């Protein structure tokens, strides 16, 4: 097995979805998908961020607005919301008639060996992709054709091509928590609260966020508890007993 790494960069105005990521630094997106056939693919995506940004994500995903390549795409897109909360949305996307496109999935379907998987992570102005494929066959012509097909304002860099013994997906990113807790936890990480030694105190973090120190402390404890429970639930495949937990 081989893992191909690609990093796409988007300039302002190049793509509506990535413009939204540029405007909302706290917005994150992860997806995994594969082709059903040479002409069809499915994708499951999770977006985490502010509620109003998630509303925009849904609107964009429900349209044909996403842009990656220079040529127009005539494929049929079908987007379905699988799960929605104030801070997260999970969507299923099915695309038919890939032969009309030059997207990553379409080119991979035409050039790479069947059975590949694409895992992507969106943040800011970049979309990082890892493609797991059975061999390195046709990777070079696939990449060259991809570079030729990109729309103005979109660029791609080849990051790596490695052999694969394991393929880790960051499942902790899917742990659900309220937006205030997620934002506080993110601020704590960004300001060095979890560094050794700590680079900021709870009081200083509270000043940065404009909320009381007791609120910051409470939100961090709740967020840390959600991460810990999510880790063990995902690690051993068992869900915690909510009834026991409530007692």
Amino acid 170: pLDDT: 53
- Any domain includes 144: yes
- Any domain includes 15: yes
Do 36 and 139 belong to one domain?
A: yes
Domain count within the chain: 2
Residue matched to tokens 């660029």: 155
| Domain end point (choices 113, 128, 163) | 163
Question: 3-state DSSP call for residue 74?
Answer: coil
Q: pLDDT by residue (tens digit) across 40-82?
A: 999 999 999 999 999 999 999 877 656 666 666 778 888 899 9
* Rounded (to 5) percent helix, strand, coil in the chain: 40, 30, 30
- Any domain includes 101: yes
Do 127 and 225 belong to one domain?
A: no
Q: Which domain holds residue 181?
A: 177-235
- Any domain includes 102: yes
pTM (predicted TM-score): 0.68
- Any domain includes 7: yes
Do 45 and 127 belong to one domain?
A: yes
- Any domain includes 241: no
* DSSP label at residue 150: B
- Any domain includes 172: no
- Any domain includes 168: no
Amino acid 243: pLDDT: 38
**C-alpha torsion 217→219→225→228, nearest 10:** -100
Residues of the chain falling short of pLDDT 50: 171-172, 234-247
């Amino acid at each position: 097995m081989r893992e191909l790494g690609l990093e796409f960069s988007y300039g302002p105005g190049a793509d509506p979805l990535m413009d939204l990521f540029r405007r909302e630094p706290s917005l994150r997106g992860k997806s995994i998908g594969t082709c059903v056939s040479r002409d069809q693919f499915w994708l499951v995506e999770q977006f985490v961020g502010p509620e109003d940004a998630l509303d925009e994500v849904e609107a964009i995903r429900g349209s044909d607005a996403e842009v990656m390549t220079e040529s127009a795409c005539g494929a049929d897109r079908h987007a379905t919301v699988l799960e929605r909360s104030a801070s997260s949305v999970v969507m299923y996307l099915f695309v038919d008639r890939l032969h009309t496109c030059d997207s990553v999935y379409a080119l991979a379907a035409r050039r790479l060996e069947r059975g590949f998987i694409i895992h992507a992570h969106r943040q800011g102005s970049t979309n990082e992709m890892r493609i797991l494929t059975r061999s390195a066959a046709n990777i070079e012509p696939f990449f060259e054709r991809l570079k030729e097909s990109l729309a103005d304002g979109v660029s791609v860099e080849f990051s790596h091509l490695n052999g694969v013994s394991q393929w880790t997906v960051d499942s902790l990113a899917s742990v659900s928590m309220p937006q205030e807790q997620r934002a506080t936890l993110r601020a704590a990480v960004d300001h060095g609260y979890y560094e050794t030694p700590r680079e900021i105190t709870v009081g200083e973090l509270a000043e940065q966020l404009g909320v009381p120190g007791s609120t910051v402390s409470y939100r961090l404890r709740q967020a840390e508890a959600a991460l810990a429970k999510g880790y063990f639930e995902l690690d051993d495949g068992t869900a915690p007993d909510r009834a026991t937990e409530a007692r």
